[in-house]
Chains A and B, each alone.
Chain A
Amino acid sequence: MPKSLIVIGAGMASGRLLEHLFEAGGDWQVTLFNAEPRGCYNRIMLSPVLSGEKTYDEIVTHDDAWYAAHGVTCRFGEKVAAIDRAARTVTSETGEVLAYDKLVIATGSQPFIIPMPGHDLDGVIAYRDLDDTERMMALAPGARAVVIGGGLLGLEAAAGLHARGVDTTVVHLMGHLMERQLDAAAGYLLRKELVDRGIKVRCSTNSRQILGQDGQVRALQLEDGEELPCDLLVMAVGIRPNVALAAAAGLAVGRGIHVDDRLCTSDADIFALGECVEHEGALFGLVAPLYDQAKVLAAVLAGEDDAAFRQKELSTKLKVTGCDLFSAGDFAEGPGREDIVFRDPARGVYKRLVLEKDRLIGAVMYGDTADANWFFGLIREGRDVSDMREMLIFGPAYQGGTGADPLAAVAALPADAEICGCNGVCKGRIEAAIAEGAVDLGGVRAVTKASASCGTCTGLVEQVLAATLGDAFALPVAQPVCGCTDLTHEDVRRLIKSHPLKSQEAVWQELGWKTRNGCHVCRPAINYYLLADWPLDYRDDPQSRFVNERNHANIQKDGTYSVMPRMWGGMTNAAELRAIADAADKYGAAIKVTGGQRIDLLGVRKQDLPAIWADINAAGMVSGHAYTKGLRTVKTCVGTDWCRFGTQDSTGLGITLEKRLWGSWTPHKVKLGVSGCPRNCAEATCKDVGVICVDSGFQIGVSGAAGMDVKEVERLHDAATEDETVEWIVAFLQLYREHAKYLDRAYKWTAKVGLDWVRAQLADDATRQALVARFDLSQSIYQKDPWAERATPEAARRFAPMADLTLEAAE
């Protein structure tokens, strides 16, 4: 007499269980309940169905004929209402009572829906079953969809929607995509690939509510109030095991239904498997362990005593066509763990292996996953890899061979091998240039253009030089920015423009930074380059600024700050002086008259900064930027207003210049002077930019210095009018902003590029006017008083300690 087996849930786990059960030949009378009105299909292949690469019929694993052939009674579209353990029966939702000898619960999981306002609107769905998939497939091309969740499922949904022509945005709470499976570097490459395809991706983004109209979803509103309009909203933020039925029957449940190694619940006749179970504290969302469970449970039901389920290392692959991505094991950083990293940003390849005690414990790969299974095997075997460590990351093909010599590899390239992709220069052309007399990179670049565009092939060109010239070629000793990279400042600036790179993360990842997020040397430089080149796309990062620029005041040796308001062209008035005097009294500041014709308030405590700024703002003054790599002062003499020798309104011109230039960030500090006659009372001839007024007009000098070096300015241009003077000075500073190395004063920069080159650039009307236009565009973003922005109570809070524990009781 066959025994009665009731299975609740026809998912992938129970489907596989039945296969094994019938293979073993046991005598079972099986009844299969399923809440979905269909049998078992391959749920993980829903993504290809969504993207149109497969049809539903192709992913059905068990059809009616199969169930019939095995005598399975199918009750699809019918839920089980209750389990009576004492009577060993289940009650269906229609009220029918069926007896069982053994019961298998395979109720799976349900998607977690964030209970934010609007989650019950029509058009808000999860991504779980065929119904959800069909809902997404019903969207017309050009419709808009938002996917909340940048994990495996969310991205597959987004890629599928995008493939159907839907305008898709992914909103993800964490800093990078698939943070559970990928590290930041691989997450970055994945994001780039998706964005390049046209999928919009918003990381570190929190949602506030879902907005609707007539009960239908209209938009997702983000934490900052921004609305993302959508016709469909997919939530893919995680799953929860379905435990309600088991819990109601009094079985032990935690997050999932508790099972032992034999998949047995707290009732000896009831088993559970799949996404609804919890085994040794773990839940299961991937298919591999589910299939393992199915195998073990079939053996247990067949009476095998030694069958036991063991958790194994898992690996993940993203099923998005064209995104090759793999992760396995544990790849978190930790003490005693070592990384082996391979990057080829230009090809979009990234591989990272994590080793602990000479064993491979984790792997993340992006772009090239051909060796993934071999690495996964090493992780599972827990094998000692110390003997193959050197070549490990290159995969199985390189084991046991000798180390590759890059120079030999280049020497072996045929003459028609392409070296520079941008300019289509092959190896033979470079060798010809060398034969014609080129001896260094500059020489090759000048005649062939190789490496002159994006610069990625610079190393290759140098290797061709080395291979051709032998010892006659000395690799140039270019000073890299810092230990985080081998690139020079000039390389980085060029690559930021040519790639283009518009975020620090993009610079770190695409230029192969060796550190996670730079250091105190490169971060301020990169931050400056990005904001100077991309004023509209990049936003200044205060955490990449030195303390003075972050706090908008100069830190003093005792940890207090100095506060210096702007005095336009060195002019002030009685009301301003009173306000400064009052502020000095109120905050206990010392007063110093500076060399830049303004007044410094010294000894202000950090937590008082927002208040003193508010007081100074109230008197009509703004920050003097005495702490920035930016415009400091414009020193003037009294000019024709008062002086009997004055030839022009030097004070007025100084004020005009200062009002145009203030607030701009520059590679290093910039000081100006405007003197009304050649007696030069404003000391304009040792400034970064100095103007000497004469009867016939204005002599503009640049690149003076009066610090560590003392240097007189060199004449840039003689201008006839004030307007012409201002235009040339603005254009000069913009050229400096766009080209100089961070922390080079103007005189160091012009010494490198040559003042002739600078003059030639500025003498061209179109070039000069374009420089002015770019400067003004940048000023539309950055010419704002930083003090006024930080004098608000919310901003001011950040200047105070987070907490004061001195007030707590001692214990």
Chain B
Amino acid sequence: MSWIDIGALDDIPLRGARIVKTRMGCVALFRTDPEEVFATSDRCPHRGGPLSEGIVHDRKVTCPLHNWVFSLETGAAQGADEGVIATFPVRVEAGRILIDAAALGRRSAA
């Protein structure tokens, strides 16, 4: 693992999201709880909607285009929809958000 600091926790509003640009495309960071952040691919597998613009509820996000709902823990689409988004290791330490650069690299190789 190689953790890199990508910003302050408070840069993401509670139950909101921000994106990080990477070589493999945008990664969305969701703040589901005051001290809880998840990282996934920003792209909905359905029609490419920007998930970071969706409504964040519990540990889930709803795509803003057609209301597909994804678990931020597993990346799996919920309910009748089928699809999965990539999830990435992320952690919060002393008010900073750290993301695993190695995991981002692995996805590019895949």
Asked whether A and B interact, the reply is yes
Interface residues of A in 793-811 (CB under 8 A from B): 798, 801-806, 808, 810-811
Give the nearest-CB partner of B34 in chain A. Answer: A175
Residues from chain B with Cβ under 8 Å of A516 in the complex:
57-58
Q: What's the nearest-Cβ distance from chain A to residue B1, in Å?
A: 13
Task: Write out, one digit per residue, whether chain B residues 65-103 have a CB within 8 A of any chain A CB (1) or not (0).
Answer: 101010001000000000000000000000000000100
CA distance A518 to B67 in the complex (A): 14
Q: Does B13 contact A (CB under 8 A)?
A: yes
> Which residues of B are found within 8 Å of A804, using beta-carbon distances?
20-21
Q: Which residue of A520, A543, A806 contacts B69 across the interface (Cβ within 8 Å)?
A: A520
Known: A802-B7, A806-B22, A810-B105. A517 touches B57 (CB 8 A): yes
Complex: how many Å from CA A810 to CA B58?
A: 34
Known contacts A542-B16, A543-B15; A802/B55 CB under 8 A? no
Q: Which of A385-393, A547-555, A573-581 contacts B (4 or more CB under 8 A)?
A: A547-555
Q: Is A174 an interface residue (CB 8 A)?
A: yes
B24 CB, nearest partner CB in chain A, Å: 9
- Find out whether the CB atom of B57 lies under 8 angstroms from the CB atom of A805: no
26 inter-chain pairs at a CB distance below 8 angstroms, sorted by A residue, are A175-B33, A175-B34, A204-B34, A516-B58, A517-B58, A519-B55, A519-B57, A519-B62, A520-B62, A520-B67, A543-B55, A543-B56, A544-B15, A550-B53, A555-B50, A559-B48, A798-B18, A802-B19, A802-B20, A802-B29, A803-B6, A804-B20, A805-B22, A805-B101, A808-B4, A808-B101
Mark out the residues of chain A between 310 and 358 whose CB falls within 8 Å of any chain B CB in the assembled complex: 335
- How far does the alpha carbon of A805 sit from the alpha carbon of B15 in the complex, in Å? 24
| Cβ of A523 under 8 Å from chain B | yes
Give the chain B neighbours of A811 by CB distance below 8 A: 105
Interface residues of A in 755-811 (CB under 8 A from B): 798, 801-806, 808, 810-811
Report if A515 contacts B (CB, 8 A): yes
Residues of chain A within 8 A (CB-CB) of B4 are 805, 808
Set A335, A547, A810: member contacting B64, Cβ < 8 A? A547
B22–A555 contact, CB under 8 A? no
Given contact pairs A802-B20, A803-B21, A518 touches B7 in the complex (Cβ within 8 A): no
In the assembled complex, the Cα of A544 lies from the Cα of B50 at a distance in Å of 16
Distance of A516 Cα from B34 Cα, bound (Å): 14
A546 at the interface (CB under 8 A from B): yes
Q: Does A646 contact B (CB under 8 A)?
A: no
Chain A residue nearest in CB terms to B22: A805
Instruction: Check if B55 sits within 8 Å of A524, measured CB to CB.
Output: yes
Residues of A close to B101: CB separation below 8 A: 805, 808
A544 to B55, CA, bound (A): 7
Question: Which residues of B lie under 8 Å from residue A523 when comparing CB positions?
Answer: 55, 57
Residue in A204, A546, A806 whose CB lies within 8 Å of B55? A546
CB distance from B37 to the nearest CB of A (A): 11
Q: Which A residues are in CB contact (< 8 Å) with B50?
A: 547, 555, 559
What 17 additional pairs, Cβ within 8 angstroms, besides A175-B33, A802-B29, A805-B20?
Answer: A174-B34, A175-B34, A335-B73, A516-B57, A517-B15, A517-B58, A519-B58, A543-B14, A543-B16, A546-B64, A557-B47, A798-B11, A801-B20, A801-B26, A802-B6, A802-B18, A810-B23
- Interface flags, B7-49, vs A, CB<8A=1, else 0: 1000111111011111100100100011000000000000110
Q: How far is the CA of A211 from the CA of B54 in the complex (A)?
A: 42
Contacts of B29 in A (CB 8 A): 802
Give B63 Cβ to nearest chain A Cβ, in Å: 9
Q: How far is the CA of A545 from the CA of B14 in the complex (A)?
A: 13
Across the interface, do B54 and A547 meet the contact criterion of CB distance under 8 Å?
Answer: yes
A802 close to B12 (CB less than 8 A): yes
Q: How far is the CA of A805 from the CA of B101 in the complex (A)?
A: 9
Q: Is the CB of A801 within 8 A of B21?
A: yes
**Residue from A515, A523, A543 whose CB has the most chain B CB atoms within 10 Å:** A543
Contacts of B20 in A (CB 8 A): 801-805
Interface size classification for chain B: 35 or more
Given contacts A520-B69, A523-B57, A805-B6, contact A543 B19 (CB under 8 A): no
Measured between alpha carbons, how far is A504 from B7 in the docked complex, in Å?
A: 28
Q: How many residues of A contact B (CB 8 A)?
A: 33
B20 to chain A, nearest CB (A): 5
Identify which of A559, A802, A805 contacts B104 (C-beta below 8 A): A805
Spell out A's residues near B (CB within 8 Å).
174-175, 204, 335, 515-520, 523-524, 542-547, 550-551, 555, 557, 559, 798, 801-806, 808, 810-811
Most chain A CB neighbours (cut-off 10 Å) among B18, B22, B55:
B55
In the complex, A8 Cα to B110 Cα: how many Å?
63
A557 to B46, CA, bound (A): 13
In whole Å, how far is B39's beta carbon from the nearest beta carbon of chain A? 11
Q: Which of B12, B53, B101 has the most CB of A within 10 A?
A: B53
In the assembled complex, the CB of B109 is this many whole angstroms from the nearest CB of chain A, namely 11
Shortest CB distance A551–B (Å):
7
Query: Which B residues are in CB contact (< 8 Å) with A546?
Result: 55, 64
Chain A contacts of B60 at CB under 8 A? 519
- With a cutoff of 8 Å between Cβ atoms, the chain A residues found around residue B22 in the complex are 805-806
Contact (Cβ within 8 A) B14 A803: no
A806 contacts B57, C-beta separation under 8 Å? no
Chain B min CB distance to A810 (Å): 7
Question: A residues within 8 A CB of B48?
Answer: 559
B14 nearest in chain A by CB position: A543
Within 8 Å CB of B15, what residues of A? 517, 543-544
Q: Given the complex, which residues of B lie within 8 Å of A517, measured CB to CB?
A: 15, 57-58
Q: What are the nearest 7 A-B pairs in CB distance?
A: A520-B62, A520-B55, A547-B53, A803-B6, A547-B64, A543-B15, A802-B18
**Nearest A residue (CB) for B23:** A806
Cα-based distance from A806 to B21 in the complex (angstroms): 6
- Chain B positions within 8 Å of A810 at CB level: 23, 105
CB-defined contacts of B57 to chain A, threshold 8 Å: 515-520, 523
Q: Which of A174, A520, A544 has the most CB of B within 10 A?
A: A520
Q: Which residues of A contact B62 (CB under 8 A)?
A: 519-520
Q: Which of A335, A518, A519, A805 contacts B23 (CB 8 A)?
A: A805
Nearest-Cβ distance from residue A353 to partner chain B, whole angstroms: 19
Which B residue sits closest to A550, measured CB to CB? B53
Instruction: Give CA–CA (A382, B74) in the complex, Å.
Output: 29
B21 & A515 in contact (Cβ 8 Å cutoff): no
Q: Which chain A residues lie closer than 8 Å to B55 at the CB level?
A: 519-520, 523-524, 543-546
Query: Complex Cα distance A544/B56, Å?
Result: 8
Write out the residue numbers on chain B whose beta carbons fall within 8 Å of the beta carbon of A803. 6-7, 20-21
Q: Can you name the residue of chain A whose Cβ is closest to the Cβ of B49?
A: A559
B41 to chain A, nearest CB (A): 14
Q: How far is the CA of A549 from the CA of B12 in the complex (A)?
A: 18
A517 to B62, CA, bound (A): 13
* Complex interface: chain B residues within 8 A of A559 (CB): 48, 50
Chain A contacts of B64 at CB under 8 A?
546-547, 555
Q: How far is the CB of A202 from chain B (nearest CB, A)?
A: 15
Bound-state Cα–Cα, A804 to B21, Å? 5
Q: Which residue of A lies closest to B26 (CB)?
A: A801
Q: Which residue of B lies closest to A174 (CB)?
A: B34
- A174-B34, A175-B34 in contact; A805/B58 too (CB < 8 A)? no
In whole Å, how far is B68's beta carbon from the nearest beta carbon of chain A?
A: 10
Q: How far is the CB of B47 from the nearest CB of chain A, in Å? A: 8
Q: Shortest beta-carbon distance, B34 to chain A, in Å?
A: 5
A803 vs B104: C-alpha distance when bound (angstroms): 14
User: Which residues on A sit within 8 Å (CB–CB) of B33?
Assistant: 175
Distance (whole angstroms) from the CB of A224 to the closest CB of chain B: 13
Q: Which residues of B contact A544 (CB under 8 A)?
A: 15, 55
CA of A150 to CA of B62, assembled, Å: 33
* Shortest Cβ distance from A516 into B: residue: B58
Residue of A nearest to B58 (CB): A516
Decide: A805 and B34 in contact? CB cutoff 8 A: no
For B13, give the chain A residue with the smallest CB separation. Answer: A543
- Considering the chains assembled together, what is the distance between the CA atoms of A550 and B62 in angstroms? 14
Q: Which residues in A have their C-beta under 8 angstroms from that of B16?
A: 542-543
Q: How far is the CB of A218 from chain B (nearest CB, A)?
A: 28
Q: Which one of A515, A518, A802 has the highest number of Cβ atoms from chain B below 10 Å of its Cβ?
A: A802
Shortest distance in angstroms between B50's beta carbon and chain A's nearest beta carbon? 6
- Smallest CB-CB separation from A335: which chain B residue? B73
